[in-house]
Protein backbone atom coordinates (compact mmCIF):
# COMPACT_ATOMS: atom_id res chain seq x y z
CA UNK A 1 0.00 0.00 0.00
CA UNK A 2 1.34 3.45 -0.94
CA UNK A 3 2.44 5.65 1.94
CA UNK A 4 1.94 9.35 2.41
CA UNK A 5 5.13 11.25 1.68
CA UNK A 6 3.78 14.81 1.43
CA UNK A 7 0.93 16.96 2.65
CA UNK A 8 -2.04 18.01 0.56
CA UNK A 9 -0.78 21.62 0.65
CA UNK A 10 2.67 20.60 -0.62
CA UNK A 11 1.26 18.56 -3.47
CA UNK A 12 -1.19 21.29 -4.44
CA UNK A 13 1.69 23.77 -4.67
CA UNK A 14 3.74 21.22 -6.61
CA UNK A 15 0.83 20.62 -8.99
CA UNK A 16 0.50 24.34 -9.70
CA UNK A 17 4.22 24.56 -10.44
CA UNK A 18 4.09 21.40 -12.55
CA UNK A 19 1.34 22.84 -14.79
CA UNK A 20 2.60 26.43 -14.70
CA UNK A 21 -0.81 27.46 -13.41
CA UNK A 22 -1.82 30.36 -11.17
CA UNK A 23 -4.38 30.15 -8.39
CA UNK A 24 -6.97 32.16 -10.30
CA UNK A 25 -6.73 29.82 -13.30
CA UNK A 26 -7.06 26.78 -11.05
CA UNK A 27 -10.14 28.34 -9.46
CA UNK A 28 -11.71 28.89 -12.88
CA UNK A 29 -10.91 25.39 -14.12
CA UNK A 30 -11.97 23.57 -10.95
CA UNK A 31 -14.91 25.63 -9.74
CA UNK A 32 -13.21 25.86 -6.33
CA UNK A 33 -12.99 29.44 -5.04
CA UNK A 34 -9.61 31.21 -4.94
CA UNK A 35 -10.29 31.83 -1.25
CA UNK A 36 -10.51 28.08 -0.55
CA UNK A 37 -7.45 27.31 -2.69
CA UNK A 38 -5.46 29.89 -0.72
CA UNK A 39 -6.36 28.15 2.55
CA UNK A 40 -5.47 24.75 1.08
CA UNK A 41 -2.04 26.06 0.05
CA UNK A 42 -1.41 27.47 3.53
CA UNK A 43 -2.29 24.13 5.08
CA UNK A 44 -5.21 25.64 6.99
CA UNK A 45 -7.69 23.24 5.42
CA UNK A 46 -7.53 19.67 4.17
CA UNK A 47 -9.33 19.03 0.92
CA UNK A 48 -12.51 16.96 1.08
CA UNK A 49 -13.14 14.22 -1.45
CA UNK A 50 -15.16 16.30 -3.91
CA UNK A 51 -12.69 19.21 -3.78
CA UNK A 52 -9.72 16.87 -4.24
CA UNK A 53 -11.37 15.35 -7.29
CA UNK A 54 -12.09 18.72 -8.94
CA UNK A 55 -8.61 20.08 -8.19
CA UNK A 56 -6.92 16.90 -9.44
CA UNK A 57 -9.00 16.97 -12.61
CA UNK A 58 -8.14 20.63 -13.24
CA UNK A 59 -4.42 19.97 -12.68
CA UNK A 60 -4.56 16.68 -14.61
CA UNK A 61 -2.95 14.76 -11.75
CA UNK A 62 -4.12 11.72 -9.84
CA UNK A 63 -6.21 12.21 -6.71
CA UNK A 64 -3.97 9.93 -4.67
CA UNK A 65 -0.85 11.90 -5.64
CA UNK A 66 -2.56 15.18 -4.77
CA UNK A 67 -3.47 13.80 -1.35
CA UNK A 68 0.22 13.15 -0.70
CA UNK A 69 0.62 9.44 -1.47
CA UNK A 70 3.76 8.02 -3.06
CA UNK A 71 2.24 7.32 -6.48
CA UNK A 72 2.85 8.73 -9.97
CA UNK A 73 1.48 12.24 -10.48
CA UNK A 74 0.03 11.57 -13.92
CA UNK A 75 -3.68 11.01 -14.05
CA UNK A 76 -4.73 7.66 -15.48
CA UNK A 77 -6.75 7.97 -18.66
CA UNK A 78 -10.16 6.29 -18.43
CA UNK A 79 -10.43 3.03 -20.31
CA UNK A 80 -12.74 3.32 -23.27
CA UNK A 81 -13.99 0.43 -25.33
CA UNK A 82 -14.10 1.41 -29.00
CA UNK A 83 -15.74 -0.61 -31.72
CA UNK A 84 -14.12 0.52 -34.95
CA UNK A 85 -16.43 -1.51 -37.13
CA UNK A 86 -19.49 0.52 -36.16
CA UNK A 87 -20.25 4.09 -37.17
CA UNK A 88 -22.13 6.37 -34.76
CA UNK A 89 -25.85 6.21 -35.40
CA UNK A 90 -28.45 8.91 -34.88
CA UNK A 91 -31.46 7.80 -32.78
CA UNK A 92 -34.83 7.75 -34.56
CA UNK A 93 -36.53 11.13 -34.52
CA UNK A 94 -33.28 13.09 -34.20
CA UNK A 95 -31.41 15.05 -36.85
CA UNK A 96 -27.64 15.57 -37.03
CA UNK A 97 -26.41 18.99 -35.93
CA UNK A 98 -25.65 21.32 -38.84
CA UNK A 99 -22.22 22.80 -39.41
CA UNK A 100 -21.98 26.15 -37.68
CA UNK A 101 -20.27 29.50 -38.17
CA UNK A 102 -19.92 32.62 -36.03
CA UNK A 103 -22.00 35.76 -36.61
CA UNK A 104 -21.83 38.97 -34.55
CA UNK A 105 -24.35 39.55 -31.77
CA UNK A 106 -24.71 43.31 -32.00
CA UNK A 107 -27.23 44.16 -29.31
CA UNK A 108 -30.90 44.04 -28.34
CA UNK A 109 -34.20 44.57 -30.13
CA UNK A 110 -37.67 45.03 -28.67
CA UNK A 111 -40.32 42.35 -28.88
CA UNK A 112 -42.71 44.69 -27.12
CA UNK A 113 -42.64 48.47 -27.09
CA UNK A 114 -39.80 49.89 -29.21
CA UNK A 115 -36.56 50.45 -27.32
CA UNK A 116 -33.61 52.69 -28.00
CA UNK A 117 -31.52 50.95 -30.63
CA UNK A 118 -28.43 49.28 -29.16
CA UNK A 119 -25.71 48.38 -31.61
CA UNK A 120 -22.70 47.49 -29.50
CA UNK A 121 -21.15 44.18 -30.43
CA UNK A 122 -21.56 41.84 -27.47
CA UNK A 123 -19.70 38.91 -28.98
CA UNK A 124 -20.48 36.14 -31.43
CA UNK A 125 -23.13 33.42 -31.63
CA UNK A 126 -23.31 30.25 -33.68
CA UNK A 127 -25.47 30.09 -36.80
CA UNK A 128 -25.90 27.24 -39.31
CA UNK A 129 -23.55 27.72 -42.26
CA UNK A 130 -26.44 27.46 -44.73
CA UNK A 131 -28.46 30.19 -42.97
CA UNK A 132 -28.06 33.43 -44.93
CA UNK A 133 -27.76 35.91 -42.09
CA UNK A 134 -25.47 38.85 -41.37
CA UNK A 135 -25.87 39.42 -37.63
CA UNK A 136 -27.93 38.45 -34.59
CA UNK A 137 -29.94 40.40 -32.03
CA UNK A 138 -31.19 39.47 -28.56
CA UNK A 139 -34.94 39.85 -28.14
CA UNK A 140 -36.52 41.76 -25.26
CA UNK A 141 -40.24 41.37 -24.57
CA UNK A 142 -43.11 39.03 -25.41
CA UNK A 143 -44.86 40.66 -28.38
CA UNK A 144 -43.73 37.94 -30.82
CA UNK A 145 -44.48 34.81 -28.79
CA UNK A 146 -47.16 33.77 -31.29
CA UNK A 147 -44.36 33.29 -33.81
CA UNK A 148 -42.34 31.30 -31.27
CA UNK A 149 -39.97 34.18 -30.41
CA UNK A 150 -39.65 34.71 -26.65
CA UNK A 151 -37.89 37.15 -24.36
CA UNK A 152 -34.17 36.35 -24.36
CA UNK A 153 -34.19 34.49 -27.68
CA UNK A 154 -31.58 35.27 -30.31
CA UNK A 155 -32.93 36.22 -33.74
CA UNK A 156 -30.84 36.05 -36.91
CA UNK A 157 -31.12 38.97 -39.35
CA UNK A 158 -30.27 39.18 -43.05
CA UNK A 159 -29.63 42.77 -44.11
CA UNK A 160 -32.15 43.93 -46.73
CA UNK A 161 -34.12 47.18 -47.10
CA UNK A 162 -37.44 45.57 -48.05
CA UNK A 163 -39.51 42.55 -47.01
CA UNK A 164 -42.69 40.90 -48.26
CA UNK A 165 -45.97 41.63 -46.47
CA UNK A 166 -46.27 39.44 -43.39
CA UNK A 167 -42.55 38.75 -43.01
CA UNK A 168 -40.83 39.42 -39.69
CA UNK A 169 -38.25 42.19 -39.77
CA UNK A 170 -36.01 44.31 -37.59
CA UNK A 171 -37.36 47.83 -38.05
CA UNK A 172 -35.89 51.13 -36.93
CA UNK A 173 -38.31 53.93 -36.03
CA UNK A 174 -36.23 57.04 -35.53
CA UNK A 175 -33.76 56.12 -32.79
CA UNK A 176 -35.75 53.08 -31.65
CA UNK A 177 -35.86 49.51 -32.92
CA UNK A 178 -38.44 46.75 -32.84
CA UNK A 179 -39.08 43.26 -34.25
CA UNK A 180 -42.51 42.87 -35.86
CA UNK A 181 -44.39 41.52 -38.87
CA UNK A 182 -44.41 44.17 -41.59
CA UNK A 183 -47.50 45.07 -43.63
CA UNK A 184 -47.33 47.87 -46.19
CA UNK A 185 -50.74 49.39 -47.00
CA UNK A 186 -51.64 52.13 -49.49
CA UNK A 187 -51.00 55.06 -47.18
CA UNK A 188 -49.44 53.56 -44.05
CA UNK A 189 -47.11 50.86 -42.75
CA UNK A 190 -48.21 48.48 -40.01
CA UNK A 191 -45.79 46.74 -37.65
CA UNK A 192 -47.90 43.94 -36.24
CA UNK A 193 -47.07 41.93 -33.08
CA UNK A 194 -47.77 38.21 -32.57
CA UNK A 195 -49.41 38.69 -29.19
CA UNK A 196 -52.96 40.07 -28.68
CA UNK A 197 -51.78 41.91 -25.57
CA UNK A 198 -49.84 44.32 -27.82
CA UNK A 199 -51.13 46.76 -30.43
CA UNK A 200 -49.80 47.29 -33.93
CA UNK A 201 -47.50 50.23 -34.55
CA UNK A 202 -48.90 52.40 -37.35
CA UNK A 203 -46.97 55.01 -39.30
CA UNK A 204 -48.79 57.11 -41.90
CA UNK A 205 -47.26 58.09 -45.23
CA UNK A 206 -46.01 61.43 -43.88
CA UNK A 207 -44.27 59.61 -41.01
CA UNK A 208 -42.61 56.88 -43.09
CA UNK A 209 -39.34 58.76 -43.46
CA UNK A 210 -38.58 57.77 -39.86
CA UNK A 211 -39.16 54.06 -40.61
CA UNK A 212 -36.32 51.94 -41.92
CA UNK A 213 -36.23 48.18 -42.38
CA UNK A 214 -32.84 46.94 -41.15
CA UNK A 215 -33.30 43.37 -42.28
CA UNK A 216 -35.41 40.24 -42.42
CA UNK A 217 -35.57 37.72 -39.58
CA UNK A 218 -34.45 34.41 -41.09
CA UNK A 219 -34.37 32.31 -37.92
CA UNK A 220 -34.12 32.36 -34.16
CA UNK A 221 -32.69 30.35 -31.32
CA UNK A 222 -34.80 29.49 -28.28
CA UNK A 223 -33.71 28.03 -24.93
CA UNK A 224 -36.05 25.73 -23.04
CA UNK A 225 -36.05 26.27 -19.32
Verify that 53 and 156 share a domain, yes or no.
no
Total tally of structural domains belonging to the chain: 2
Whole-number pLDDT of residue 225 = 56
Residue 177 burial by Cβ neighbours in a 10 Å radius (0-12, 13-18, 19+): buried
pLDDT recorded at residue 213: 94
Look at residue 91 in the predicted model and tell me its pLDDT: 75
pLDDT of residue 154: 94
Using an 8 Å Cβ cutoff, are 169 and 180 in contact? Answer: yes
In this prediction, residue 78 carries a pLDDT of 58
- The range of the structural domain enclosing residue 44 comes to 8-66
pLDDT at position 179, please? 95
8 A C-beta contact, residue 150 and residue 138:
no
pLDDT single digits (tens) 113-166: 655 454 566 788 888 888 998 889 999 999 999 999 999 999 999 999 999 999
- The whole-number average pLDDT for the span 188-216 is 94
What pLDDT, in 10s, does the model give residues 16-61? 999 999 999 998 888 888 878 988 899 888 888 888 898 999 999 9
212 confidence band (pLDDT: 50, 70, 90): very high
Catalytic residue of the set 3, 86, 102, 143 = 143
Residue 181: how many other CB atoms lie within 10 Å: 21
55: CATH: 1.10.260.40
Q: Is 86 a catalytic residue?
A: no
User: What whole-number distance in Å separates Cα of residue 138 and Cα of residue 124?
Assistant: 12
Q: For the whole model, what pTM was predicted?
A: 0.57
In a domain, 194, yes or no: yes
Q: Is residue 146 part of a domain?
A: yes
Is residue 192, in this structure, part of any structural domain at all? yes
* 71-90: average pLDDT: 66
Round to whole Å and give the CA distance between 141 and 104. 21
pLDDT surpassing 80 at residue 63: yes
Q: Are residues 45 and 131 in the same domain?
A: no
Nearest to 178, CA basis, from 108, 107, 135, 114: 114
% of the chain at pLDDT higher than 90: 44
Out of 36, 42, 138, 180, the active site residue is: 180
Respond yes or no: is residue 38 known to be catalytic: no
Amino acid sequence: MAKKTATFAQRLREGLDLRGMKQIELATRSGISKYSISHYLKGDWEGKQDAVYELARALNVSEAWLMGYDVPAERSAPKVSVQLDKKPTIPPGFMPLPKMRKVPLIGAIACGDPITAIQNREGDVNAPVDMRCDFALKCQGESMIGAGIHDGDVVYIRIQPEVENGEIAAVRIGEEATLKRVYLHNDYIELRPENPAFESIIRRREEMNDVQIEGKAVGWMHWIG
